[in-house]
């Protein structure tokens, strides 16, 4: 029975907690007396407690994040109710700031704020020796990256077969965007390259084919970026029928020619870039301390779209201080013109500790007091308008980002993507009262009904376009409005297989 159990609630089973694996990898002599037990949000609390207690641990370490803090609070409360002698140690970004305001911190025995890689091991040694630390709240020590044991051997064979593997070539961020906790970092710190590449090689030899880099600034040090890209490119060249998929987060206005040259060599379905634009408004950028050359960023996105096969996922944030509906709409339409595969339309959140809170009074920021701490209203966007934007975000993900309506979208967006989709969003909510659980077939019908209600609608064209999109996505239902002898479902032999996630596959098919 392990004396130490590390646990968290992941958003999905496919996610494997990198943080827990760092903690276990750096336990030193306690490693053999430890175990990782992961759960998924939505699991019954009593069942999670039962599984944790079955290990009979002396210490339970809990990773707490914005998406799981409420369920983690219930988990810790029940653990303390039925097994008060087990020591509960919390860590993670959600409990690294404002700890005195959180019930979960009151329930736990100890809280490590900030860096926990080696601090947890030091605390565990103390507790297992029966020593009582001087304080309940323990400030984590930032160990040099060279002093850390890399965590990748903590991924199990099941992880390698079935889950996304999170990796990092660097930590921290040199930028100071106030909506992000990375604004508190002094800089970015790279891991030593050769040992990191050796770990990637080991994962590859074990069968890993999907890698998600969590680096905030993958392309900050171009020579390092090139070495990592070269690692994956060589794998693809040596085994073209055994695809690899890698996800990176890029700085939008930093794409030198030698990096472009490397990116252009990758085959379709192997690269995804997450690109944080957040806002195109220069006044808002200055207000939140974001440095970004908008024209350069736009040119880079356009180049990636036109000269590479990378899947592009670009982020915008609604609700930033001083950003109204009109300026957000202008930025949104500008981004639509650049044609990324996905636009992640996010709503501002007040992450605990993030400097964005300093604008609360001046700009009338009103945040949800409970997780995920989303913005409810600002001085220039009232609550009702923010609700409309939230629904827009959800419907955009279903209709545009899902990749199922590549031919229909131009009919819906026309010459004002934001304004036209907002009208559709308002209509869809008024019609259904729902933002979730809308089946694919039902959405086809809703889109047709809406588009056919617009002035000058060409019903035959709308119907044929929607059916073509539906069939291309594998849909088999016959609709009353479709013409006989229309397009048939896409057969399995035409579907792209391998490491590329299914949503990205639909976008690639839409491009074709």
Write out pLDDT tens, residues 203-220: 999 999 999 999 999 999
Element (H, E) at 125: helix 119-128
User: How far apart are alpha carbons 81 and 247 in whole angstroms?
Assistant: 42
Distances (CA, A) of 370 to 66, 73, 207: 10, 13, 40
Q: Are the CB atoms for 357 and 373 separated by under 8 Å?
A: no
159 located within any domain? no
Identify which of 127, 134, 157 has the alpha carbon closest to the alpha carbon of residue 34.
127
**315 and 411 co-located in one domain:** no
**334 and 208 co-located in one domain:** yes
pLDDT attached to residue 496: 45
pLDDT attached to residue 504: 74
pLDDT digits (tens, 9 = 90+) for 270-320: 999 999 999 999 999 999 999 999 999 999 999 999 999 999 999 999 999
Instruction: Taking residues 434-448, report their average pLDDT.
Output: 96
Number of domains the chain is built from: 3
**Where residue 24 sits, what CATH number does that domain have?**
3.40.50.2300
pLDDT attached to residue 493: 39
**Where residue 180 sits, what CATH number does that domain have?**
3.80.30.20
Percent of the chain clearing pLDDT 90 (strictly above): 93
pLDDT attached to residue 214: 96
Instruction: Taking residues 176-205, report their average pLDDT.
Output: 95
Domain-terminating residue out of 110, 145, 180? 145
| Contacting residues for 302 by C-beta, under 8 A, at least 6 apart | 338
158 located within any domain? no
| Contacting residues for 237 by C-beta, under 8 A, at least 6 apart | none
300 located within any domain? yes
C-alpha 63, offset from chain centre: 17
User: How far apart are alpha carbons 509 and 512 in whole angstroms?
Assistant: 5
**112 and 227 co-located in one domain:** no
In sequence order, the β-bridge partners of residue 275 are 250, 314
**210 and 288 co-located in one domain:** yes
pLDDT digits (tens, 9 = 90+) for 70-94: 999 999 999 999 999 999 999 999 9
Identify which of 244, 239, 262, 263 has the alpha carbon closest to the alpha carbon of residue 312.
263
Q: Which two tokens stand for residue 393?
A: 């975000």
Percent of the chain clearing pLDDT 70 (strictly above): 96
217 located within any domain? yes
**481 and 355 co-located in one domain:** no
Q: Burial-class residue 437 by CB neighbours within 10 Å (0-12, 13-18, 19+).
A: exposed
**218 and 350 co-located in one domain:** yes
295 located within any domain? yes
Binning pLDDT at 50, 70 and 90, where does residue 391 land? Answer: very high
**307 and 401 co-located in one domain:** no
156 located within any domain? no
Instruction: Taking residues 340-350, report their average pLDDT.
Output: 97
Helix (H, G, I), strand (E, B) or coil at 459: helix
| Contacting residues for 466 by C-beta, under 8 A, at least 6 apart | 405, 408, 444, 447, 448
Domain-terminating residue out of 116, 145, 174? 145
pLDDT digits (tens, 9 = 90+) for 125-154: 999 999 999 999 999 999 999 999 999 999
**308 and 262 co-located in one domain:** yes
pLDDT attached to residue 506: 75
Binning pLDDT at 50, 70 and 90, where does residue 490 land? Answer: low
Q: Would the pLDDT of 180 be above 50?
A: yes
| Contacting residues for 149 by C-beta, under 8 A, at least 6 apart | 25, 26
In this structure, what DSSP letter does residue 310 have?
-
**73 and 93 co-located in one domain:** yes
pLDDT attached to residue 495: 40
pLDDT attached to residue 494: 39
Instruction: Taking residues 9-33, report their average pLDDT.
Output: 97
Q: Which two tokens stand for residue 110?
A: 């100890």
Identify which of 194, 174, 193 has the alpha carbon closest to the alpha carbon of residue 185.
174
Binning pLDDT at 50, 70 and 90, where does residue 512 land? Answer: low
CA atoms within 13 A of residue 399's CA, in its CB half-sphere:
28
Domain-terminating residue out of 381, 410, 443? 381
pLDDT attached to residue 486: 60
154 located within any domain? no
Mean pLDDT of the chain: 95
**249 and 342 co-located in one domain:** yes
**343 and 492 co-located in one domain:** no
Structural domain range at position 362: 164-381
CA gyration radius, the chain: 24
pTM of this prediction exceeds 0.85: yes
Beta strand ranges found along 51-95 (DSSP E): 59-63, 87-91
pLDDT attached to residue 141: 96
437 located within any domain? yes
**373 and 388 co-located in one domain:** no
């Amino acid at each position: 029975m392990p004396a130490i159990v590390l646990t968290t609630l992941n958003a999905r089973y496919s996610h494997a907690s990198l943080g827990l694996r760092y903690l276990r990898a750096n336990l030193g002599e306690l490693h053999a007396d430890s175990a990782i037990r992961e759960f998924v949000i939505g699991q019954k609390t009593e069942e999670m407690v039962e599984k944790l207690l079955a290990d009979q641990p002396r210490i339970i370490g809990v990773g707490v994040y914005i998406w799981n803090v409420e369920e983690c609070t219930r988990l810790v409360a029940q653990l303390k109710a039925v097994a008060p002698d087990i020591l509960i140690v919390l860590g993670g970004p959600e409990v690294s700031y404002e700890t005195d305001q959180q019930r979960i911190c009151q329930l736990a025995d100890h809280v490590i704020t900030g860096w926990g890689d080696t601090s947890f091991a030091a605390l565990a040694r103390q507790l297992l020796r029966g020593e009582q630390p001087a304080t309940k709240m323990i400030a984590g020590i930032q160990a040099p990256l060279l002093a850390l044991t890399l965590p990748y051997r903590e991924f199990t064979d099941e992880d390698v077969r079935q889950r996304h593997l999170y990796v990092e070539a660097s930590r921290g961020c040199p930028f100071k965007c106030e909506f992000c906790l990375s604004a508190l970092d002094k800089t970015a710190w790279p891991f030593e390259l050769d040992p990191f590449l050796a770990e990637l090689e080991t994962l590859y030899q074990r069968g890993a084919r999907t890698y998600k880099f969590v680096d905030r600034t993958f392309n900050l040090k171009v020579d390092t970026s090139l070495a990592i890209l070269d690692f994956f490119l060589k794998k693809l060249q040596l085994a073209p029928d055994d695809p690899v998929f890698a996800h990176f987060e890029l700085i939008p206005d930093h794409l030198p020619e030698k990096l472009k040259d490397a990116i252009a060599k990758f085959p379709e379905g192997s690269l995804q870039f997450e690109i944080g634009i957040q806002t195109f408004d220069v006044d808002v950028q200055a207000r939140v301390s974001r440095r970004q050359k908008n024209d350069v960023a736009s040119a880079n996105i356009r180049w990636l779209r036109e000269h590479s096969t990378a899947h592009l996922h670009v982020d915008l944030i609604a609700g930033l201080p001083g950003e109204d509906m009109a300026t957000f709409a202008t930025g949104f339409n500008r981004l639509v013109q650049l044609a990324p595969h996905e636009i992640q339309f996010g709503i501002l959140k007040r992450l605990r500790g993030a400097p964005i809170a300093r604008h609360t009074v001046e700009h009338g920021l009103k945040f949800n007091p409970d997780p995920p701490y989303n913005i409810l209203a600002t001085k220039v966007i009232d609550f009702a308008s923010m609700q409309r934007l939230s629904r827009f975000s959800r419907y955009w993900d279903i209709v545009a980002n899902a990749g199922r309506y590549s031919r229909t979208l131009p009919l819906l967006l026309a010459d004002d993507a934001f304004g036209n989709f907002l009208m559709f969003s308002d209509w869809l909510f008024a019609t259904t009262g729902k933002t979730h659980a809308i089946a694919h077939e039902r959405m086809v019908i809703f889109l047709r009904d809406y588009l056919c209600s617009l002035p000058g609608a060409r019903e035959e064209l709308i119907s044929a376009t929607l059916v073509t999109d539906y069939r291309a996505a594998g849909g088999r239902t016959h609709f009353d409005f479709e013409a006989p002898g229309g397009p048939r479902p896409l057969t399995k032999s035409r579907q792209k297989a391998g490491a590329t996630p299914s949503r990205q596959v639909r976008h690639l098919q839409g491009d074709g």
